[in-house]
Amino acid sequence: LVHRLASQEQKPPSPLLIQDRDFYSLEPTFLARTALYCRERGLMKDMPALLCVVLATKDCALLERIFPRVLDNARMLRTFIQILRSGVVGRKSFGTAVKRMIRQWLEARNDERLFQDSIGDHPSLADVIKMVHPKPQTASRAAFYGYCLGKAYDATALPALVQQYEAYKAGDRAMVPDVPFQMLTALQLGTLEWTAIARRAPWQMTRMNLNTFARHGVFTQEGLPELIAARLREARAIAKARVFPYQLLAAYTNVDAAVPTVVREALQDAMEIAIANVPQLPGKVYVCPDVSGSMASPVTGMRSGSTSAMRCIDVAALVAAAVVRKNPQAEVLPFEHTVVSLNLNARDSVMTNAMKLASIGGGGTNCSAPLALLNKRKARGDLVIFVSDNESWMDAGRGRGTATMAEWQAFKQRNHAARLVCLDIQPYVTTQAKEREDVLNIGGFSAQVFEVVSEFATGRLHADHWVGVIEAVELEESRS
């Protein structure tokens, strides 16, 4: 659906876009719980925002109960506004209730946090203020709104952080203000200033700016390489940052040679921590990552302004490497038009094995190749995992799907209890296969995928499993 939303950017949005997902037939309470689950457990961004927009057309009172939990940062609020104003749910206006929720969201942020939120755009914070007309409750907030809108304001009433930032811009370099570094990059910053930024950077910012720190001499300062490395491998910080494993792979593969070894190794340690919950799968496992030419496409698809540098083949390689790390007896069968021979050492790091797999690729796609090879060997097995860029047609009755399922049926004749997982890195709306008892389709990728695969492999993932999981989500946040 995100691909469909992206495709609407250069043409009028279709009000029917959401209806083909049958969102309107769902109970509002179920939609609300799904939005909470997607954000808080699935760590998703676009989908929970979309569900909130749909809920705005069905039950605004219910939306108000979950609004701050789902739209828990400025990026999420901007996504919600973008989707609503695009018209894909059949309306473009906020309405009184939604405007009130956005005003309450603004009022709940302190001045410093709101100033830090102002780095985003489309819409910018100033745009949001113009849309909902919040009434400032304090002199500092009134001055800040005037500052954002380019109107007259009392400079002495500005929040302290804004005053520090403006003083720094004016040449007072006694102390680097605690603002997102994006606010400072247009200024002439030296090594000392960049070192100050690096010392207090949050985890996610650190991961994304290792090359920038190296370029500005941060790692030449005594103790900084060790400080940054310790931050990157700190388990609580990794969990708080909600990092996706493929983001760590992206950081590791793109890091410059100028970044010290201790920092690069810390990224490997962070990866091991991030996939620590990958379960041990029962029985004999085969992982079949697609390494064909199409897998070189960005994992997000081609999205205007937000195309990822991470490729589908990188994610497929990561899945395979993570499974092998926790299941040393698992066999990896990379395939394009045939199976590609490759040996992986289960004792190597996830990063090392993922990079080995991602380095191969090209050619056409023949998803039946791994199963054909296993049948030729008369192999025994309990679980087969396919990872591709659009694997949902596995049982859709198309030509290629028929060949693959024929091989799967042959495999099942020897392995009656075997199960097949088809992981679609780029799932599309119209190609989802119908679930079978022995076939599971998964769309997209996060660390949660491994949990789902484990539940399915052990027979605990029933048809109503996700309904039960969603219905167990509490609409009211626990106070304990």
User: How far is the CA of 343 from the CAs of 321, 383, 402, in angstroms?
Assistant: 11, 19, 29
Let me know if residue 475 belongs to a domain: no
pTM above 0.95, yes or no: no
CA–CA separation, 54 and 74 (whole Å): 19
User: Is 367 within a domain?
Assistant: yes
DSSP 8-state secondary structure symbol assigned to residue 289 = E
Q: How far, in Å, CA of 18 to CA of 16, rounded?
A: 6
Q: Among the three residues 274, 293, 325, which one is the final residue of a domain in this structure?
A: 274
pLDDT tens track for 337-368: 899 998 888 888 888 888 888 888 777 888 89
Q: Could you tell me if residue 177 is inside a domain? A: no
pLDDT of residue 89: 83
Q: Are 250 and 304 members of one domain?
A: no
Highest mean pLDDT among 127-136, 177-186, 398-407 belongs to 127-136
Instruction: Give the bridge partners for 423, in sequence order.
Output: 387, 442
pLDDT in tens, 282-292: 999 999 999 98
Contacts of 264 (CB under 8 A, 6+ apart): 252, 255
Contacts 24+ apart (CB under 8 A), 338-345: 338/366, 338/369, 339/369, 339/370, 339/373, 340/291, 344/320
Residue 368 placed within a domain = yes
Supply the pLDDT for residue 399: 53
Question: Number of folded domains in the chain?
Answer: 3
pLDDT for residue 87 is more than 90: no
Domain shared by 435 and 390, yes or no: yes
CATH number at residue 339: 3.40.50.410
Q: Taking residues 125-132, what's their average pLDDT?
A: 96
CA distances from 32 to 36, 272, 443 (A): 6, 33, 21
User: 265 and 291 share a domain?
Assistant: no
**44 & 97 share domain:** yes
> Do 420 and 312 fall into the same domain?
yes
Residue 169: other Cβ atoms inside 10 A? 13
CA distances for 467 relative to 33, 285, 462, angstroms: 10, 28, 10
Q: 382 and 439 share a domain? A: yes
Q: Is the pLDDT of residue 2 over 60?
A: no
pLDDT beyond 80 at 410: yes
Q: Give the range of the structural domain holding residue 423, as residue numbers without chain letter.
A: 285-469
- Judge whether 183 lies within some domain: no
| Residue 366: both structure tokens together | 């023949």
Q: Where are the beta strands (DSSP E) in 231-298?
A: 285-289
User: Which has more pLDDT, 267 or 249?
Assistant: 267
Q: Which of 227, 252, 274 is the last residue of a domain?
A: 274
Cα–Cα distances in angstroms (integers) from residue 410 to residues 306, 330, 414, 456, in the given order:
43, 21, 7, 21
pLDDT at 433 over 80: no
* 344 is a domain residue: yes
The last residue of one of the domains, among 250, 274, 298, is 274
280 is a domain residue: no
**Is the same domain home to 85 and 154?**
yes
Continuous segment of H or E residues that includes residue 403: helix 399-414
- Is there a single domain that holds both residue 146 and residue 294? no
Q: Tell me whether residue 117 is in a domain.
A: yes
Whether residues 117 and 200 fall in one domain: no
Mean pLDDT over each residue of the chain, to the nearest integer: 85
Residues 232 and 122 in one domain: no
Q: Do 89 and 117 lie in a common domain? A: yes
Per-residue CA distances from 239 to 26, 274, 276, 295, 444 (Å):
32, 8, 11, 29, 20
Q: What is the mean pLDDT of residues 15-25?
A: 54
Residues 426, 322 share a domain: yes
